[in-house]
Amino acid sequence: MLKRKIIHIDMDAFYASVEQRDNPELRGKPVAVGHAEERGVVAAASYEARKYGVRSAMSSIRAKKLCPNLIFVPGRMGTYKEISRSIHSIFHDYTDIIEPLSLDEAFLDVTENKKGIELAVDIAREIKTRIRQELNLVASAGISYNKFLAKIASDHRKPNGLCTIHPNQALDFIARLPIESFWGVGPVTAKKMHSLGIHNGELLRACSPDMLNRHFGKAGKLYYDFSHGIDNRPVEAVHIRKSIGCERTLEKDISKQSSVIIELYHVTKELIARLERNEFTGNTLTLKIKFHDFNQITRSITQAQKLTSLEVVLPLAKKLLKEVDFENHPIRLIGLSVSNPIEEQNDKTTIWEQLSFEFSDW
């Protein structure tokens, strides 16, 4: 069977790098995109900041403790989107089979490319060079025969990385890969795998499908396939929006029921407005709660009717909220999304739109 030629392009510290590019005084200094206020959150961090342990989604207070000299700059989402369009314009010179994952990250299928270049690594090298020359930014690229390995390859030598995982090298590469580096393995799953004695790809590959399914449900098959270098997901050039969500980061952690209900009402109103603007309908409502300690949970409910009005959605949101113990765990963030589970069977992506005051100018 023909092996696909997949490239994963990932811009290095994209938002922070744009700010450093546009403001010479920031170059070489630890920079965080976001706000330094007590309730602020780091949206992106430069590599100089990452050396201190600063990461995206970290609270601004913790980031400043780790890096006292950290410089905060407000985000400019309009600028980032414009640059992202320029990056994708470069991509389209080589292929139209492009699957964006975010503004700064995408998969490209270059098995058959517009320029007739035989080696995918040569295409990746050209793209990196053009991004540097035309936009004065740096990207990392990973090349392999499937999306999982291309993604792993792009992370392998960041920043400014270029890495190819050849089919003949894949199994050896995966065997040495820490379990935390596997796609879909977050901190909770990694901890569970460690408890089962699974610390790398070699140990994961030794597990049977039944054992993985028993401990990890449907994700077990995915982990099994990845450990064997298997990922049959195509690069999807067209994405249909399958859900719409919004979330609000609160100015203070709250645990009083009346206060939580008021915030839930405001988020629900914004969700309905977004549904109307996008002419989107769905019948599954998902509540997202982030607690004061940054732990996060979601709760969902599916109805036969479409969820399009405040009168329908708000009672369901309150019903989901009853399943959440917030009296003993103050709430930091509340989010809601509406999705269509039938369309989502092959794609579990939820698009969240930030409503917190920190990024109101985005």
Residues designated as active site: 105
Q: Does the bond joining 315 to the residue before it have cis omega, within 30 degrees of 0?
A: no
Compute the half-sphere exposure of residue 270: CA atoms within 13 Å on the CB side of its CA: 19
Ranges of H-type helices in the chain: 14-22, 47-50, 60-66, 77-92, 120-135, 147-156, 170-176, 187-195, 201-205, 209-216, 219-227, 257-278, 310-321
What is d(CA 82, CA 125) in angstroms, rounded to the nearest whole number? 23
* Beta strands 352-354 and 284-291, pairing class: unpaired
Instruction: Please list, in sequence order, all residues whose beta carbon lies within 8 angstroms of the beta carbon of residue 317, skipping any fewer than 6 positions away.
Output: 264, 267, 268, 285, 287, 336
Q: How far, in Å, are 55, 159, 252, 267 from residue 289 at the CA level?
A: 21, 33, 14, 12
What is d(CA 282, CA 242) in angstroms, rounded to the nearest whole number? 8
